[in-house]
Amino acid sequence: MKVAGAEKLIEKIGTDAQRAAEKYWHDADVRKQQMRESLLREIGKRKAEIDKMAAQAGVEKKKRMAAVYDLEYRKELLAAKQEMMAKAKDLAKQKLAGLSDSDYKALMSKRLVACAQNGAGSIAVGKSEKRLNAAFVKAVNAELKKQGGEGSVTLEKEKRDIEGGFIYLSDGLEINMSLASQLGEAWQDVETQVAAVLFED
């Protein structure tokens, strides 16, 4: 009887141990599966964050590239506009220099009369100037006298380094009425209008 009872006790202990082992391994498998699922979720989360950051970086990179391209385009456009404006100014200078003798003298006479309001003073012309000569000064003096001025403007012997037009001198004052100076002043007045015509949409 005692032997039979001992065998049953041993059998029960073995059965309980087997159950405990099975439960342990089951619980271990559950924990392992839970850890695996948690790790996969974390990996998925991190991947989503990385993808998002990469997408944002791509957008920012595209924005930076677009900004660079836009800046370069604006620089090229500005350079092209400046070149066109310079050509337009050169064309205006050529047309002014190419005036007929009568138109050129009429323009310079008008400018000299405006400068010599009291009818006195003198003018200095460029080294290659042929049209603004003694006869021109005489004609201007006649016009100045008609307007009540002295009509005593003289022609300086000393030549100036200008192309077209003249330098008006009176009482230590010099007024640059060269073609380049007159064109510069006129250009400032019409530059905006020229740009509007050249670059209108």
Give per-residue pLDDT as tens, 114-170.
Answer: 999 889 999 999 999 999 999 999 999 999 999 888 899 999 999 999 988 999 999
- The last residue of one of the domains, among 97, 117, 134, is 97
What is the tens place of the pLDDT at every residue in 11-28?
555 455 455 445 545 555
22 and 73 in a single domain? The answer is: yes
On whether both 23 and 72 belong to a single domain, the answer is: yes
For the cut 50, the answer to whether the pLDDT of residue 1 exceeds it is no
**Confidence category of residue 196, pLDDT binned at 50, 70, 90:** low
Residue 168: how many other CB atoms lie within 10 Å: 20
- Please tell me the predicted confidence (pLDDT) of residue 125: 95
CATH number of the domain where residue 109 is located:
3.30.2320.30
Q: Letter for the amino acid at 64? A: R
Question: pLDDT-derived band of residue 29, with 50, 70 and 90 as boundaries?
Answer: low
**Least confident piece of the model among 16-30, 75-89, 92-106, 166-180:** 16-30
Largest CA distance in the chain: 162
> What average pLDDT score do residues 33-62 get?
71
Domain boundary among 66, 97, 128: 97
Same domain, 151 and 184: yes
What is the total count of domains within the chain? Answer: 2
Range of the domain at 184: 100-198
Average pLDDT over residues 46-71: 72
How far apart are the C-alpha atoms of 56 and 26, rounded to whole Å?
45
Residues 80 and 112 in one domain: no
Q: For residues 106 and 78, state if they share a domain.
A: no
169 and 118 fall within a common domain = yes
Domain end residue (candidates: 97, 121, 144):
97
In a shared domain, residues 60 and 127: no
With helix as H, strand as E and coil as C, how does 98-147 read? CCCHHHHHHHHHHHHHHHCCCCCCEEECECCCCCCCHHHHHHHHHHHHHC
